[in-house]
Structure 1
Amino acid sequence: MVRDEMTSREYQVGDAITVPWGLDLVQGTVVGAYGEGLGLRVLVEVDLGDGSTEVLPFPPRALEIAQQPEGQSPPGAWVQASRYEESLSRVLSKILHAHVPEWLGGVEVNARLGEAREIDFLAQLPDRLLLVEAKHYRDVQRPLNTSTLDQVEAYLRGLRRNSPPAVALVVTNAKVPLSVIERAEKYREASVPMWVAGWREWDTPVELEMALAEALRFPVSG
């Protein structure tokens, strides 16, 4: 059994699974794995269609995206989304370690929040939890919807009953309309600590770092 500790997903050797192949999706069979954490790779045997097969390594997040219905995940969407999230994970870790030098932890990917909820990134900091939801769009002109903030707000309220204090951040490569910024401000005024930031892989993460710094300064009680 292959277990991805960061997503709590189990990959059973011999399981049939959909995998990305170029800009298409094909069927393969899980045959093993190697590495751990962000370096974990699931080995999948793929039929090349000419009677031969090849064993290919895939990051778990690419497999997760490939399992989504085609209507929600157009061909090739996994490529950009997976790269974006991997890059964002590294940037988040770098910024957090710079602002919280005493923190020796790491950024957890696809963290479970209860039985039915999952957040893209979670960092257990010395005095708080940081929840980060990433929204990647192929069309960067597509505006981020306020419903994403409402979803994260529900996560925060659910955590308050039985977890350490938590703050949240929504990061997107798309446009951040004024309505979304105002919704986040209203949540903070209501003592729901949430921020939103735009970031693209080729950008210097100035806006992202400013939002994270505010989230880390927000007063919380244990």
Structure 2
Amino acid sequence: MFAFMTLLDFFKVLGEFSTFAAAIPLGVGAYNFRRLEPARRGVWGLCLAALLAEQVARYYWKQNLPNVWTYHLLAPVLAVGWASIYRLWFAPKISPRLILGVGVLFLPYAVINGILWQSPLDSAFNSNVTVALAAMMVFFGVLYFYLQFNEPHASPLKGNFRFWINGGNLLYYSGSLFLFVIVQYLDNNSRFTSQVFILNAGFNITYMILLAVALWMPPLSPNQKAW
């Protein structure tokens, strides 16, 4: 019984820590901010948005008030923000307008989803938008590595901060996509759902550590900037 309670306590701590995990890359990025180029400053800004949303949601949850509206606001911010970052990275290969347009499409989609299907006023989790965001991020991550590995003179990945960012994106969003699809469309068991969110907390902490590594690294060398 004691071991079981200890495990529950560990999961509780894991969930609590996950709500503050974005502070890790935020602190690293703030210390290293002057050396960050626009794309990594954008990543830093998205970490700030995520941390603020998590804290507002946590406060409302502690007050037993509906808090899912924060995620309804955060999802399109992340979609547009990441599309703006990827358009800079894909610019030599793919039209920046096309990449940014994918993110901008999330704005009307999120609004329509909130009005017709999953209203934040009804405390409905915006899983439709979350799944779509995860699918977009997985697509961008896979596309980045595909383009990178098809370069005739690809530079070592471990010294490239883009590798750590895209690796983190693929890890977190592919895991989230799998977990949320199961919960939303295949299994409605409350115990299973709580286990899924514990797993997602673990993914989130790992993700934020990888982003912190990327924000700590030095700027790219001229040959790395080629792509």
TM normalised by structure 2 equals 0.29
Task: Give the structure, 1 or 2, with the largest relative contact order (CA under 8 Å, sep 6 or more).
Answer: 2
Q: Which has the higher strand share?
A: 1
* More helix as a share of residues: 2
TM-score normalised per structure 1: 0.29
